Amino acid sequence: MEDRIIKTEYSDEMQKSFVDYAMSVIVARALPDVRDGLKPVQRRVLYDMSELGIKFDNPYRKSARIVGDTMGKYHPHGDSSIYEALVVMAQDFKKGLPLVDGHGNFGNIEGDGAAAMRYTEARLQKITQEAFLADLDKDIVDFVPNFDETEKEPSVLPVKIPNILVNGSEGIAVGMATNIPPHNLGEVIEATKAYMRDENISTKDLMKYIKGPDFPTGGIVTNKDELPDIYESGAGKIKIRGKVEIEKAKGGHINVVITEIPYTMIGANIGKFLQDIAQLSETKKTQDIVDISNQSSKEGIRIVIELRKDADAENFVNLLYKKTHLEDTFGVNMLAINNGTPEIMGLKQVIKSCVDFQYEVNTRKYNNLLEKEKERKEIQEGLIKAVNVIDLIIEILRGSKDRQMAKDCLTTGKTDGINFKSKESKIMAEQLQFTEKQANAILEMRLYKLIGLELDALIKEHDETLANIYRYEDILDRKDSMASVIIKELDEIKKEFSKPRKTVIENCEEAVYKEKEFEVMDVYYLMDRFGYAKLIDKNTYERNVEACESEFRYCFMIKNNGRIAMFTEDGQMHVIKAMDLPMSKLRDKGTPVDNVTNYKSEDGAIVYVCDMDAMVQGRLLFATKGGLVKIVQGLEFETIRKTIASTKLTDKDEVAAIVPVTDEKNIVMKSRNGYFLRFQLEEISLLKKVSQGVRGMKLDSKDQVEEVYLTKAVDDKSIEHNGHGLVLNTVKLQKRDAKGTRIK
């Protein structure tokens, strides 16, 4: 047993195991091969569809069948990854050249996922069949055993175009990632042809053909001058913008219409983009937005933002570019597997690798075709020769005892055991020297081949074979001949499958958003008894003074960039920014204060609301239901927080009233049981907000303070009490901490 135990250093084993795992993920899972531009799972799905016969001109087959067959034969890593790869290859908004023709719900650009694989169907696209899977039967790529060595699969597909550029790729491996943008098929083919004509061509000259990325979603690449460096190194950042149109709408409004989005916005990011636009309005970054609607459909993207009549549309578009993903960055990292190792490659390197692969594939293809044509030539020459001595051959066949005897005679001239009609026939038979393949073809030849027309056809076929042999040898011997063959195939693919460019490449100035200067003005803060608050302009207030004073619990003037302090029974002060409240009409409902503060109804009733910026310059009188009072400097409440504790309360006590103190001399405290206590204000100490205060009024066990009033030395201020008017200064003047006088 001890002989079977291998002792090793733990760190060495971990290092080796991690490197093995990392390379497995890099090479066999996450990164594409530069030759065919496909990851292993994509390659296996396409090959399996080809093996199942799901061609472009055949009926669709269930995706579940494709996924199951691929997983069982080639890719034992779970059905979800296989189906996801199948779906992505069918989505024309992700791939510039979809490789799979999907039937059913394969998701959409707004992020909705595809239906389950049991509901969808698929088949190969025509270009996939003609440019990706053609000639696999001609032994032009290596086949390797599958995971359990029960099947064979291609190590790479014989793709005829630089697919890694056309469709791009993205993937995250261990310690590295790839992100290659898609390009226009026609441009890539022209650049490939240019490289084949001049292998010393520079990246800059290649970019005369490949202008830049061509995203399926269109959009605008804004940093054209930076692209040469990106394509030279294989890494960099491409700036992309959505395409925007400005339309005039009904009523004089302006519509900003987004018709194309950045490639990076595909999926859930469209919803995030709409949220970001709404957030601009909520945070007061802009007040130009009237309405937002997503009118996108199968015909294309159409996001409509309706602006106010006097809005600066161009400035608003620049705001979208600056503050949302309507302008975004695509990080290019052209990492791919090249000769079995991951490598960051520039544009020229990628095209070179793809062209070298084409030469390799075509060399194998035409070597195989040449061998087959030479075999056909050998057989054809044997048949033509046999027709010329057909009588002798028939005599040999009739005189032989078995097939082997006749074959030996045809190949070596051995005549032992064969009965001939004459010595001349035997002498001629001894001179025969057909090859073994020719002899087999003669022995299997049917009699109708002796017809004159068939002989002519045989001779014509032989001439064609000789022409093919000459052509194939020319292609294999001369590089320019093979190049012309490859270029011809590329031209045919371009003619049938290329489409116009969607993405615009240009140099754009950086978006500059000019914020409107904020005009500080006086406005009025209105809040009703239900806690709905709003701002109205000064003119509206002056036209409706009586309505404002009578219908609203709080009504006072503030600056439109000011703050409102709101005190509650539980001793908390909540701060409201005036800018968080909309400018409204007098009859508009307003905004609930709990939408713009941390206030909740369980915090207790709202006791006092005031202009915070004015309040901090003065003093406040606090009175609790338990009879405690204190005066606090307003500066104590200066804060940048949304909520602070405004006072300290004893158990089960609550704030009864808060009153601003100016030049008043007396305080009148009223209890629920009808007791009134008037004493001089100077008897109340000036304390900190964290203190509880001093006792202002003695209360019975079930009594509590309800209201507090401040009066001047000479003051006829009155209140209504039990249906009668009561002048506060007529209440008997006493000392603090007394019970007061009960007034019926």
Residue numbers annotated as active site: 119
- CA separation for the pair 657, 131 (Å, rounded): 84
Q: How far apart are the first and last CA of the chain?
A: 106
- CA separation for the pair 612, 50 (Å, rounded): 75
Token digits of residue 474: 């020319």
Residues in Cβ contact with 729 at an 8 Å cutoff, skipping those fewer than 6 apart: 666, 678, 711, 714, 715, 716, 717
Evaluate whether 611 touches 566 at the Cβ level (below 8 Å).
Answer: no
Tokens 């000769």 locate to: 339
Cα distances from 205 to residues 190, 196, 221, in angstroms, run: 12, 13, 19
SS3 of 622-651: EEECCCEEEEEEHHHHCCCCCEEECCCCCC
Q: Where are the beta strands (DSSP E) in 24-154?
A: 61-62, 100-103, 121-124, 143-145, 152-154
- CA separation for the pair 275, 664 (Å, rounded): 52
Largest distance between two CA atoms of the chain: 164
| DSSP bridge partners of 629 | 623, 694
- CA separation for the pair 77, 92 (Å, rounded): 26
Nearest to 418 by CA among 432, 405, 407: 405
Evaluate whether 724 touches 645 at the Cβ level (below 8 Å).
Answer: no
- CA separation for the pair 339, 597 (Å, rounded): 62
- CA separation for the pair 417, 42 (Å, rounded): 63
Name the phi and psi angles at 385, rounded to 5.
-65, -40
| DSSP bridge partners of 330 | 238
Nearest to 349 by CA among 334, 363, 330: 334
| DSSP bridge partners of 531 | none
Pairing of strands 504-505, 220-221: parallel
In one-letter notation, the amino acid at residue 120 is T
In one-letter notation, the amino acid at residue 557 is M
In one-letter notation, the amino acid at residue 180 is I
Q: Burial of 520 by CB count in 10 Å (0-12 exposed, 13-18 middle, 19+ buried)?
A: exposed
Q: Where are the beta strands (DSSP E) in 93-212?
A: 100-103, 121-124, 143-145, 152-154, 169-172, 177-180
- CA separation for the pair 135, 27 (Å, rounded): 25
Residues in Cβ contact with 269 at an 8 Å cutoff, skipping those fewer than 6 apart: 111, 325
- CA separation for the pair 315, 285 (Å, rounded): 12
Nearest to 622 by CA among 636, 643, 611, 640: 636
